[in-house]
A and B are shown apart, each in its own frame.
Chain A
Amino acid sequence: MGAREDILQRIKEANTGIEVRAVQRDYRRGPLTTTAGELPDLVTLLEERLVDYRATVVRCRPDGLASAVERLVAAASPVLRAPGVPHEWCPAAEPDHEGLAAQDLDAYAAVLTAATVACAETGTIALDASPDQGRRAITLIPDLHVCIVRADQVVASVPEMLSRLEGDRPITFISGPSATSDIELDRVEGVHGPRTLCVVLVETDEGDR
């Protein structure tokens, strides 16, 4: 018998007499409420959580986006952008293309992307490799990652965040810059990934939802 059949057969025998019981999902799955029953300002909560991770957070109106990005990348050159990021967000940035190998990406000081969804409660941003977020490598190698998140992309909880993502896409969840606590549990930012994460929170026309 091959290993596959052998293992599957062993599992079947081990499970003789074992029933499948239903899973209770009594945990929170919907929007977050405070003890007073109010909906907290999710964008503010996200900002607090990200700052707690030592990320830099900037808030702006849609018409202030380009100048906010310009200030953040002022000291970095050259700048790369995900291929679907609009040229106007950062005219100085060059679009990523498949011809760029890992070593080529290492020559860029900064990268600019959008995001798919962000979770306020945990301070997490999810990128799903859509054109405005690009392939996974570009947000990993340049030392500064500037990520644009629209207010209407911010949800409260982890279940809400996951429900907005499709499991079969390449997804990167980012909660603050790269970090390690391996030496005496002292937190050090930026071991291998970008040492600086800047998040631009763009208010949408509906306001802060």
Chain B
Amino acid sequence: MSTFLGMPAIHAPRGVGGLRGDESFPKAAKAALGDTQLRANIGRATRTIREKRAAVVEEVPDWEELRLAGQQVKAATMARLDDHLRTLEEAVTRRGGVVHWARDANEANAIIADLILATGETEVVKVKSMVTQEIGLNEALEAQGITATETDLAELIVQLGHDKPSHILVPAIHRNRAEVREIFLREMPGVPPDLTDDPRQLAMAARAHLRQKFLTAKVAVSGANFAVADSGTLLVVESEGNGRMCLTLPETLITVMGIEKVVPTWQDLEVFLQLLPRSSTGERMNPYTSAWTGVTPGDGPQAFHLVLLDNGRTATLGDHVGREVLHCIKCSACMNVCPVYERTGGHAYGSVYPGPIGAVLTPQLTGIEDNSSLPFASSLCGACFDACPVRIDIPSLLVHLRERHTEEQAKEHRLPTPEAAALSLVGWVMQSPRRFRMAETALRMARPFARSGRFRSLPFPLSAWTTSRDAPAPPPETFREWWERTRDQ
């Protein structure tokens, strides 16, 4: 691990935003595993997206070359991130936009609230954005008397259901059509009482519900998928048209983006606009992509603000291994192939960034000790690395963060951790054949307590292992006993 020694690392602050859950991953996962409806919904959905993605990736003969270029463009961008951000700021300003910088979630929320209040409005429409969930923008705006309406269909389902998103691309993936119908009937004013659970009918109810809001909204808030430094162009990639509605119809547009979203040139988009849609929704191209630069007279919002957010990103950049997570283009391919995510769903991760990438990103944004169970929420099978369109080596990053967690623990406590204590005991036992034989005999005495060859729970301190997995019962005969028995004959 290498950490820069200058200014102290600033992480995403506590008490605000969606990066910290109420309980650790193992606890939350246990509850999620018991929810059969959730497991069925998520299992079916991830399987479907996986198959679609595989088919369209198959079509592209230069997929590996594109992945390599994606990885290299991102690495080169991060290496001179300060220069690219200055260039972006200059280009946006030149084209009539205003650039704001926010060290963390609280600063960003305050900037955005002030910008909205300055327009005299108290209602805004929102394009789905991971970063606004990360900073808890909706809650912060509500505290200032501003109502933010989510306009992405899935985000709307989540918002109306007083629920939390569980996937970065399909946030309501954990809900089935019957549940969506119930939420709409209960929460959507003016919805026809004979609404069925047909997805088309449900989508048209959302269309009718949001239409007037779009046509009259004065202020919109969005995230960004990419920002081109040299031209100052911002891009939002979407499907429904709610993004275009928010980006083009209101008078004022406020876009907030993590500082890692910048790419140096327009040409770099030729890589990412090929990698992103196929990896995320399994389409050759998403239905709509909007690109805009500052303010264009007569077309779109005539006031444009860009908020550049750190919130733990420079601290992440300071870790020369862990920084690779900043290459992420938020496609969610890693989630859809992850055997852990597929069974627990997104809520168990406690962060708006779930799945393998979330397990690496979240602890780095918050500081590892605030999310120390996440780097362990993986089987390290490597499927996420194979699926990642920009070749982020997630398994290696997980191992790296586990190591950092152990280091932090060692620094904090003078007493050894349970893992360290257990391993030193094992070391002592293995030093002598006599001790090893005795340990084997002792272990076998536990055999009658196992059920169908497994222990569901063991007494402390071994319960640390069995809270999240079963332990196999010791065999009736050890290898040494078998050897002696069969060779002596």
Which residues of A are at the interface with B, using a C-beta cutoff of 8 A? 2-4, 6-29, 49, 53, 98, 102-103, 106, 119, 121-124, 129, 135-137, 140-141, 158-159, 162-163, 165, 167-186, 188, 190-194
B170: contacting residue among A7, A103, A181, CB under 8 A: A181
Could you tell me if A140 and B200 are in contact, using CB atoms closer than 8 angstroms? no
**CB pair B69 A27 closer than 8 Å:** yes
Contact status B203-A172, CB under 8 Å: no
* Complex-state Cα separation, A123 to B283, whole angstroms: 10
A175/B284 in contact, CB under 8 A: yes
By Cβ-Cβ distance, the 9 closest A-B pairs, closest first, are: A193-B241, A10-B314, A192-B241, A167-B266, A122-B285, A182-B154, A14-B317, A167-B231, A173-B289
Contacts A21-B76, A137-B249, A191-B241; is A178 near B288 (CB within 8 Å)?
A: yes
Q: A27-B62, A137-B248, A184-B176 are in contact. Are A16 and B4 (CB under 8 A)?
A: yes
Chain B residues in 8 Å Cβ range of A158? 270, 273-274
Let me know if A15 and B65 touch, CB within 8 A. Answer: no
Cα distance, A136 to B172, chains bound together (Å): 29
Interface string of B40-83 (1 = CB under 8 A from A): 01001100110000000000011001101100110110111110
Q: Which residues of B contact A163 (CB under 8 A)?
A: 267, 270
Instruction: Give bound CA distance, A141 to B257, whole Å.
Output: 27
> Beta-carbon contacts of B80-97 to A below 8 Å, as 1s and 0s?
111001100000000100
Are A192 and B214 interface neighbours, CB within 8 A? yes
**CA–CA, A13 and B4, complex, Å:** 6
B207 at the interface (CB under 8 A from A): yes
In chain B, residues 175-233, which have Cβ atoms closer than 8 Å to a Cβ of chain A?
176-177, 180, 199-200, 202-203, 206-207, 210-211, 214-216, 228, 230-233
- Label chain A's interface by main secondary structure: loop
Q: Is the CB of B296 within 8 A of A129?
A: yes
A18 CB contacts on chain B under 8 angstroms: 78-79, 320
Assess the B293–A167 pair: CB atoms within 8 A.
Answer: yes
Q: B: which residues have CB within 8 A of A?
A: 4, 6-7, 10, 41, 44-45, 48-49, 61-62, 65-66, 68-69, 72-73, 75-76, 78-82, 85-86, 95, 101-103, 107, 151-154, 157, 170, 172-173, 176-177, 180, 199-200, 202-203, 206-207, 210-211, 214-216, 228, 230-233, 239-242, 244-245, 247-249, 259, 266-267, 269-271, 273-274, 277, 281, 283-293, 296, 298-300, 308, 310, 314-315, 317-318, 320, 323
Complex contact B82–A102 (CB within 8 A):
no
Q: Which residue of A lies closest to B215 (CB)?
A: A102
Quick one: which of B153, B244, B259, B287 contacts A53, CB cutoff 8 A? B287
Interface contact B68-A24, CB-CB below 8 Å:
yes
Q: Given known contacts A178-B240, A182-B172, what 8 new A-B pairs fall within 8 Å (CB)?
A: A3-B107, A7-B308, A158-B273, A177-B287, A182-B170, A183-B153, A188-B199, A193-B287
Q: Does the CB pair B287–A171 fall under 8 Å? A: no
Closest CB in chain A relative to B40 CB, distance in Å: 11
Interchain CA distance A7-B81 in the complex, whole Å: 10
Given contacts A19-B79, A182-B170, contact A162 B273 (CB under 8 A): yes
The reply to whether B176 and A192 form a contact with Cβ atoms under 8 Å apart is no
Interchain CA distance A148-B284 in the complex, whole Å: 22
Residues A26 and B203 in contact in the complex (CB < 8 Å), given A7-B310, A181-B281: no
- Which of B177, B199, B288, B289 contacts A193, CB < 8 Å? B288
Q: Are B177 and A184 in contact (CB under 8 A)?
A: yes
Asked if A10 and B7 sit within 8 Å, CB to CB, the answer is yes
Q: What is the CA–CA distance of A136 and B245 in the complex, to the nearest angstrom?
A: 9
- Complexed CA–CA distance, A168 and B88 (Å): 12
Residues of A within 8 A of B216 (CB): 102-103
Chain B residue at smallest Cβ distance from A172:
B290
Q: Is the CB of B233 within 8 A of A168?
A: yes
Q: Which residues of B contact A121 (CB under 8 A)?
A: 284
Interface pair A140/B76, CB less than 8 Å apart? no
Shortest CB distance B149–A (Å): 13
**Pair B287/A174 contact, Cβ less than 8 Å:** yes
Q: Are the C-beta atoms of B299 and A11 separated by less than 8 Å?
A: no
- The verdict on A178 contacting B4 (CB below 8 Å), with A159-B270, A170-B292, A185-B48 known, is no
Cα A142 to Cα B141 in complex, Å, equals 32
A162 to B180, CA, bound (A): 39
A188 and B287 in contact (CB under 8 A), knowing A2-B101, A26-B69, A193-B244?
Answer: no
Which of chain A's residues have a CB closer than 8 A to the CB of B292?
170-171
Specify which chain B residues have a CB less than 8 angstroms from the CB of A167 in the assembled complex.
228, 230-231, 233, 266, 291, 293
| Contact of A183 with B215 at beta-carbon distance under 8 Å, contacts A4-B101, A26-B68 already known | no
CB distance from B62 to the nearest CB of A (A): 4
Q: Are B239 and A168 in contact (CB under 8 A)?
A: no
Q: How far is the CA of A186 from the CA of B44 in the complex (A)?
A: 12
CB pair B76 A178 closer than 8 Å: no
| Known contacts A173-B289, A178-B287, A182-B153; is-contact A162 B300 (Cβ 8 Å) | no
Q: By the criterion CB–CB under 8 Å, are A8 and B85 in contact?
A: yes
In Å, the complex CA distance between A53 and B314 comes to: 41
Does B298 contact A12, Cβ atoms closer than 8 Å?
no
> Do A6 and B103 contact each other (CB < 8 Å), given the known contacts A49-B284, A172-B289?
yes
Of A8, A25, A137, A175, the contact of B285 (CB 8 Å cutoff) = A175
Smallest CB separation, B253 vs chain A (Å): 12
Partner of A170, one of B41, B81, B151, B296: B296
User: Contacting A180 at CB < 8 Å: which of B44, B86, B203, B308?
Assistant: B203
* Closest residue on chain B to residue A49 by CB atoms: B284
CB-CB nearest in chain A for B206: A191
